[in-house]
Every structure is written in C-alpha cells, then in structure tokens.
Amino acid sequence: MEIPGRISDILRQKSPDIYSIKPTAMVFEAIQLMVEKKVGALAVMKGQELFGVVTERDYMHKIIVRGKSSKNTEVGTIMTEKLITVGPENSVTEALRLMTGERIRHLPVLEGKRMMGLVSIGDLVKWVISAQDSALSQMESYISGGYPG
C-alpha cells in the first residue's frame, strides 16, 4: 500500500529546530538534552556537518549495559556513525520500509550534505494515521452522497 506524502511534508509539520550535540560532549549532556527537548535522538554535528546520531538506545546498549559512566564518556564513542538517511523528496512509504528493514527509529533528512531534520518512526506513524483518517472521511462522504465529483 502506497502512503501519500513526502518526507518534506512531515518536516513542514514539525518544529524547524534540529537538536544536536558535538561528538566531544559527554553522554550525560546528550541525555539531559533529550529529556529537556522530549526527543529520543540527537544529531551529532561539528558545525553544520553531520557525523552521526545518538539515541536512547545507544545510551542503553553502550553505557548502561556495559557499566560505563555517562559523565565520563564522549558522545562520539557511542553514536551511530553508519548513517542511513533520506532526502526530503523521499516518500513516506520509502522511509517506513527503510526504517523497518534496517530496524531503526530515527532517520536524518539530508539535502545534499545539509541537515534538514530528523524524522522518527513516531512521526511517520502519526502521518499514516492522519492519511487513513482522511481517506476514511472521504469514503464516508462518498457513501452518504456528499462526495463532489
């Protein structure tokens, strides 16, 4: 089933803020920022260049389980470096397939090398639900005779 919409449509509905942290920052700072901003991932950047993504999962798997200290470990040592990205022109369906296939929850959106945003699986699910609600409303209107056309 093809879901209507592009990643750019989702980005337009989100805050334009991109929450990021430097690779030399301590993991504790990253976790504090995630809690403050109520997000599950941060872009790891040097200036405007994307180096990786650090997620709650990275923290859980690479700090807590291994008994490391989040106050003495740099973000760069636990971030995900092998990035899977999409462009703003990619479809929502493509992004969902990619995230499901790769078992990831966050996708950086790049236009060339420029970071446009970060979409989560939650963003995509919310979009799908909205698209389904819209389709159902149109069908109900058509069935009741109110469909124009």
Contacts of 90 (CB under 8 A, 6+ apart): 6, 7
Mean pLDDT estimate for the chain: 89
pLDDT digits 0-9 by tens, 18-42: 999 999 999 999 999 999 999 999 9
pLDDT of 149 > 90? The answer is: no
The confidence score (pLDDT) of residue 136 equals 57
The confidence score (pLDDT) of residue 2 equals 77
pLDDT of 88 > 80? The answer is: yes
Closest by Cα among 80, 71, 63, 81 to 25: 71
pTM: 0.82
The confidence score (pLDDT) of residue 128 equals 83
